[in-house]
Amino acid sequence: MDRSEAVPSPRHFRPLPPWAQGPATIALHGAQRPERNAGAVVPPIYQTSTFRFPGPYSELGIEGPPYLYTRHDNPTQEVAAETVRLLEGGESARVYGSGMGAISAALLGLLSPGEELVAMENLYGGTVGLCSGLLRRLGIAVRWVSPHEEAEPELVLSDRTRVVFLESPSNPLLQVHDIAQWAAAADARGALTIVDNTLATPVNQHPIELGADVVVHSGTKYLGGHSDLMAGALVAPRSIMDRIHATDIGLGSVLDPFAAFLLARGMKTLPLRVERQNRSAAWLVEQLVAIPEVERVWYPGRASPEEEALAARQMGGRSGVLAFVLRGGLAAARRTLARLECVHVASSFGGVESLVSLPEETSHVGLSEAERRECGMPSGMLRLSVGLEEPEVLLSDLRQAIGSG
Ligand SMILES: Cc1ncc(COP(=O)(O)O)c(C=O)c1O
C-alpha cells in the first residue's frame, strides 16, 4: 500500500485556492485538507507522541519518515502553524507551547555569545526578563532602546547587532513603532528583525510585508482567542526557521496536539473577533476620554499626530486593547477593579471576554518602578482587553466601577 495514502498527512498543504482571498476565508479554509482526513471538515487531533515508521529508519532515505516524534512535528501542530503562516504571509511557521516558548526559541536559535540584541524598552515583561536574565548570562549583549532614541535606529545598531526585537503596538502602552524603518536599518547591518505581533494580530498588521524577518505570537492571546490554552507561534523564512527549529527541539517548547487543535479552531474566528474587538475598543476610547475621572487614555495612534500617521500607514485596524489611568491613581484603580462586575480582573488579553489588569502587578511586575517610569507607564495604569460583550454593557460596568455619574 502507498503509505502516503494510508497516513492522512496534512504536511503538504495544497496551494491556496484562487478564491481564498481574504483573511476570513484563509482562516477557515487555508490549512484544511478534508480529502486527507476521511472527508472530515474539522482536521482530527493526532494525539500521539510518536509515529510508526514504514520500515527500518535506515531504509527511509534522506527524507526520513513523514513524521518522527511530536516534539519535532505533528500533523495537528502543522494545521495550526499553516494557518498562522498564511495569515501572516510568511514562508514557514511552527507552533510552540507558549509565546515565551516561541520567543526563547527564536532568540536562542538566532543569537550566540558575543553578539548583540537590540530590543525596545517597552516589550512584554516576560521578554524583558528573558533578555536581561538568561540571554545576558549566556554572554549575549542586550541594548535597550528608549522612546527618545526611536527616530534614529542607525545610531543604535552596531556591528555586533544580530537581532532587533520590537513589539508594535506595545503591551501595555500601545505605542506604535516604525517596523519598516527598523527592519531597513537592521537589514543594512545584516541583522534580523523580529516583531512580536501578538497585540496587533495578522488581522491588523503584517510585519513581513513591512520588512520584518520573523513574526512571533503569544497564541494564548488573540490567535487562540478563548482564554483556554497556552500557545506560541513563529513565522520566518525557511532557512531562518531551520536554525530556530534546531534549537527548539532541544528546548522542548512543543505545543501539545490538543492545544494545537484548540489553537487552529480558535483562529477560524480570528478576523471576525478582532474586527469586532477593534470597533468596540475604539468606541470605548471615545467614551472614556469624556469621563471626568479618567486622566488619560492610551490607544494606538493617540500619542501624537506622527504616531497617528504611522499607525495609519502600517496598520489596518488598531487594537482591541486600550489602557487608561484615573485621576485618583493607583488607589482609584484598585477601587475600580474591586467594583467591576462584568469585566474580569485578570492578566492576559485577546480573549472573547473582557479582561482588565494592572500591569504593574501582573505582566510588568518584574520591572522596577524606575524602569516602568522610564518606559512611560504611570502607576495605576489599567489595561483593558475588550471582549465580545456589547460595548454599552462594558461602558456601563466601567462607569459604575469608576464611580462616574
Ligand atoms: C506581547 C506578548 N508577547 C509574548 C507574551 C508571552 O506569551 P505566553 O504567556 O503565551 O508565554 C505575552 C504574554 O502576555 C505578551 O503579552
- C-alpha closest to that of 122 among 342, 241, 300, 293: 300
> Mind listing the pLDDT tens digit for each residue in 376-398?
889 999 999 999 999 999 999 99
Q: How far, in Å, CA of 135 to CA of 180, rounded?
A: 26
CATH code of 348's domain:
3.90.1150.10
Nearest CA to ligand 1 atom 6: 99
| Average pLDDT of every residue of the chain | 93
The domain boundary residue, chosen from 233, 267, 301: 267
Domain that holds residue 394: 270-402
> Same domain for 288 and 157?
no
If one counts the domains in the chain, the total is 2
> Same domain for 200 and 299?
no
Q: Which amino acid is at 335?
A: R
> Same domain for 242 and 343?
no
> Mind listing the pLDDT tens digit for each residue in 227-280?
999 999 999 999 999 999 999 999 999 999 999 999 999 999 999 999 999 999
> Same domain for 129 and 150?
yes
> Same domain for 278 and 259?
no
> Same domain for 398 and 324?
yes
The domain boundary residue, chosen from 207, 236, 267: 267
> Mind listing the pLDDT tens digit for each residue in 100-155?
999 999 999 999 999 999 999 889 989 999 999 999 999 999 999 988 898 899 99
Beta bridge partners of 117: 142, 163
Instruction: Note if 268 is an active site residue.
Output: no
The domain boundary residue, chosen from 267, 282, 309: 267
Region 334-346 average pLDDT: 98
> Same domain for 231 and 302?
no
Closest ligand 1 atom number to CA of residue 347: 14
The rounded Å distance from CA 256 to ligand 1 centre is 18
Structure letter (DSSP) for residue 92: E
Residue reference for cell 527598523: 182
Q: Which residues contact 298 (CB under 8 A, 6 or more apart)?
A: 172, 173, 174, 322, 323, 324, 381
> Same domain for 90 and 216?
yes
> Same domain for 292 and 247?
no
C-alpha cell at 405: 455619574
Structure letter (DSSP) for residue 15: P
Residue reference for cell 486593547: 321
C-alpha cell at 236: 520566518
pLDDT of residue 63 exceeding 50, the answer is yes
Sheet containing strand 92-96, edge to edge, reads 92-96, 232-236, 214-218, 192-196, 161-167, 116-120, 141-145
The rounded Å distance from CA 313 to ligand 1 centre is 25
pLDDT of residue 11 exceeding 60, the answer is no
Q: Would strands 214-218 and 232-236 be described as parallel, antiparallel, or unpaired? A: antiparallel
With bands split at pLDDT 50, 70 and 90, how would you rate the model's confidence at 2?
very low
Closest ligand 1 atom number to CA of residue 167: 1
Instruction: Note if 221 is an active site residue.
Output: yes
The rounded Å distance from CA 275 to ligand 1 centre is 21
Q: How far, in Å, CA of 122 to CA of 144, rounded?
A: 9
Ligand 1, pocket-test mutation among 198, 262, 263, 347, most atoms within 8 A of CB: 198
The rounded Å distance from CA 290 to ligand 1 centre is 31
Beta bridge partners of 383: 323, 357
Q: Which of 28-32, 57-61, 258-262 has the lowest mean pLDDT?
A: 57-61
pLDDT of residue 21: 85
Q: What percent of the chain has pLDDT over 70?
A: 97
pLDDT of residue 196 exceeding 80, the answer is yes
> Same domain for 143 and 128?
yes
> Mind listing the pLDDT tens digit for each residue in 292-339?
999 999 999 999 999 999 999 999 999 999 999 999 999 999 999 999
Structure letter (DSSP) for residue 50: B
The more confidently predicted of residues 251 and 3 is: 251
Q: How far, in Å, CA of 375 to CA of 378, rounded?
A: 9
**Ligand 1 binding pocket, CB closer than 6 Å:** 98-100, 124, 126, 167, 171, 196, 198-199, 218, 220, 230, 232, 363
Beta bridge partners of 297: 324
> Same domain for 103 and 204?
yes
Instruction: Note if 196 is an active site residue.
Output: yes
Ligand 1, pocket-test mutation among 218, 223, 256, 362, most atoms within 8 A of CB: 218
Annotated catalytic residue, options 11, 69, 71, 265? 71
With bands split at pLDDT 50, 70 and 90, how would you rate the model's confidence at 12?
low
Listed in order, strand segments (DSSP E) in 9-159 are: 92-96, 116-120, 141-145
The rounded Å distance from CA 278 to ligand 1 centre is 19
Using CA of residue 390, residue 396, residue 402, residue 405, what is the dihedral sign? positive
Listed in order, strand segments (DSSP E) in 7-131 are: 92-96, 116-120
Annotated catalytic residue, options 221, 273, 372, 383? 221
The rounded Å distance from CA 219 to ligand 1 centre is 8
- Give me the torsion for CA of 306, 182, 315, 366, rounded to 10°: -90
> Same domain for 117 and 162?
yes
Prediction pTM value: 0.94
Q: How far, in Å, CA of 237 to CA of 241, rounded?
A: 6
Using CA of residue 204, residue 208, residue 212, residue 215, what is the dihedral sign? positive
Instruction: Note if 124 is an active site residue.
Output: yes
CATH code of 236's domain:
3.40.640.10
Task: Tell me the three state secondary structure of residue 34.
Answer: helix
In angstroms, how far is CA 362 from the centroid of its own chain? 18
